[in-house]
Structure formats: structure tokens, C-alpha cells
Amino acid sequence: MRRLSIAAVAALFIALSSPATAGAGNFTVINATGADFASLSIRRFGTDAWKDLSARPPAGGRGAVKFSDDDCAFDIQARLAGGAKVVWSGVNLCGATAVTLNRSATGALWVDYD
């Protein structure tokens, strides 16, 4: 019986000391595209289910996004003023407090993280 108790305590200690994966949480989105966002949406990377985000910062602006998901990799889609759609694919939101969505004059897209 004593061996069983020691094994149970050891298993509990290992389980409690293992780091938990937090997933993605609230973040700030910064619009560095040079165009206003008409809409902003997000989906888990590799899925088709887009969800609207309440933040729609104007060019050069920022907006708070209330968000919680167990996953880390997401696609973020913006519909720009004028109708063009752009998608930043594979955005890592785990541990990110701010995500800057960039777009060059030639249309290249990239993300900067804080």
C-alpha cells in the first residue's frame, strides 16, 4: 500500500510541475497596411470557419481584441476600404500581446509581434 501511495504522489507531482499550454489570448491588433480595415476576421490555421473580430483599426491605428483559443496558429483576414481582401496566414498568437499587420506597396504581407 505504501508503494502505491508513493507512486500516486510522484504522478501527481509530475502532473502539477508540467507546464500547461495557455493557447492564444487577448491581443492588440495594429494596422500598418496603409489602408483602413472595413472588417477583420480570424480562423484557426487550416480551417474554413472565419469569425468576425470587433476591432477594425484605421490605417496606423490599433484596436483591442478579446480572444481565447487553445490553439496558437491562426489566419487573419482584413477587408480593406475599397474591397480588397488580404490574409496573413499562420499568425502565432500564443504569447503575443500585440500583432502588427503589415502590407507593402507591392502587396507583400508580414506580421510583427510584441
- Encode pLDDT of 82-113 as tens digits: 899 999 999 999 999 999 999 999 999 999 99
What's the alpha-carbon Rg for the chain, to the nearest Å? 20
End-to-end CA distance of the chain: 52
Note the Cα 34 to chain centre separation in Å: 21
CA distance 5 to 81: 64
Q: pLDDT digit string (tens) for 11-40?
A: 434 443 334 556 999 999 999 999 999 999
Average pLDDT, the chain: 86
pLDDT of residue 1 exceeding 70, the answer is no
0.85 exceeded by pTM = no
Residue 33 zone, left/alpha/beta (φ > 0; ψ -120 to 50; rest)? alpha
* CA–CA dist 24, 71 (Å, integer): 6
Per-residue pLDDT at 98: 97
pLDDT at residue 21, as a whole number: 55
The dihedral built from the CA positions of residue 44, 46, 49 and 52, taken in this order, carries a sign that is: positive
Domains and CATH numbers, the chain: 23-113 (2.60.40.2890)
